[in-house]
Structure 1
Amino acid sequence: MKRGTVIWLKGTIFVIGIITLVVSIFFLPGLAKEAAEMNPEYAYLRFPVLVGLYATEIPFFFALYQALKLLNYIERDLAFSELAVFSLGFIKKCAFTIIILYVIGIFMLAIQNALHPGIAIIGIVIVFATLVISLFTAILQELLRSAIELKSENDLTV
């Protein structure tokens, strides 16, 4: 992979992380406060929902870090190594964690009878997008594992 492409991908990961961090620090609390003022009957859910959203950011940032490590492996010509397989596995686990947290959150809001259809749609879209990422990562991990195995067999025959 060309050096410029790797740098561009790293920059994209940094921008995604910074935007997520800025939105979560500066905009989410204000949105939660505004939603609590507009719907006082659900004001008691303000902090649990915020905590749930912040909890999903922890595996998200871990996955971004693993993606950066994966790009570093690609830069150092270690793309076909067990380190890359481990990073992909960690990204897959982070995606499953995000899915579980969102499903629990949607379920809890539905139990409280506070699940607005717009929030449900956004939650379901996030769950399905994360599911696609986790499935893609699992497939990529298995392909990489098979390629490493073929490479090691090839190295032994030569």
Structure 2
Amino acid sequence: MKTWKINILKLAVSLISIIILLLLIFFIPGIANYFEETAPEFGHMKWPLILGIYLTGLPFFIAVFNVFRLIKLIDVDAVFTMKSIKHLNIISKCSISEIIIYFLGLIYLYIEKAMQPGIVLLSLLIIFASFVIYVLIEILKELLLKAVKIKNENDLTI
């Protein structure tokens, strides 16, 4: 594969990761403080929500790390191996964990009677995007598994 295409992919993933990291570090605490000041009746929910959002960062960055490892395999033409399937499996588990964490967060907001339309819409958008990523990775994993089997059969023939 062309090196410039891989470099653009690395740049895009790096840029998205940096933006998410900056949002987690700077934007989330600031917006939590703002909501605590404007709606003091929900002040007791500040830290559980911040910790919940930070908890969603963990599977995201694990998935990003595995995307970089997968890109490295693509770069050295070793994509049709079981290592790449392993990385795809970890990425799919991370997207499922994102779905579970956000779903539990929505349940928490419902129990606390704090469901705001914007928060619910954003959470559902993240859940939907994670589900699309999960389905896409699972399809890719099945296709790659078939390709690895065919490659292994061809390697065994003389």
TM class by shorter chain equals: over 0.9
Across the two proteins, how many residue pairs are aligned to each other? 158
In the aligned structure 1, how far is the partner of 2:47 from the partner of 2:129?
Answer: 25
In the aligned structure 2, how far is the partner of 1:47 from the partner of 1:92?
Answer: 28
Q: Look up the match of 1:99.
A: 99
Q: TM-score normalized by structure 2?
A: 0.97
Letter of the 1:157 partner, please give it: T
Q: Look up the match of 1:90.
A: 90
Q: Look up the match of 1:23.
A: 23
Q: Does 2:63 align with 1:63?
A: yes
- Deviation string for 1:30-78 (max 9, x for gaps)? 1000011111111110110000000000000010010000000001110
How far the C-alpha of 1:157 sits from its partner, in A, is 3.1
Q: CA RMSD in A?
A: 0.8
Structural mapping, 1:1-158, within 5 Å: 1-158=1-158
Q: TM-score normalized by structure 1?
A: 0.97
How far the C-alpha of 1:16 sits from its partner, in A, is 0.9
Q: Percent identity?
A: 38
In the aligned structure 2, how far is the partner of 1:60 from the partner of 1:17?
Answer: 9
In the aligned structure 2, how far is the partner of 1:83 from the partner of 1:151?
Answer: 14
Letter of the 1:154 partner, please give it: N
In the aligned structure 2, how far is the partner of 1:32 from the partner of 1:151?
Answer: 52
Ranges of 4+ aligned residues in structure 1 off by more than 4 Å:
none
How far the C-alpha of 1:154 sits from its partner, in A, is 2.3
How far the C-alpha of 1:135 sits from its partner, in A, is 0.8
In the aligned structure 2, how far is the partner of 1:108 from the partner of 1:125?
Answer: 17
Name stretches of at least 5 consecutive residues in structure 1 with no aligned partner. none
In the aligned structure 1, how far is the partner of 2:82 from the partner of 2:119?
Answer: 40
How far the C-alpha of 1:81 sits from its partner, in A, is 0.6
How far the C-alpha of 1:6 sits from its partner, in A, is 0.5
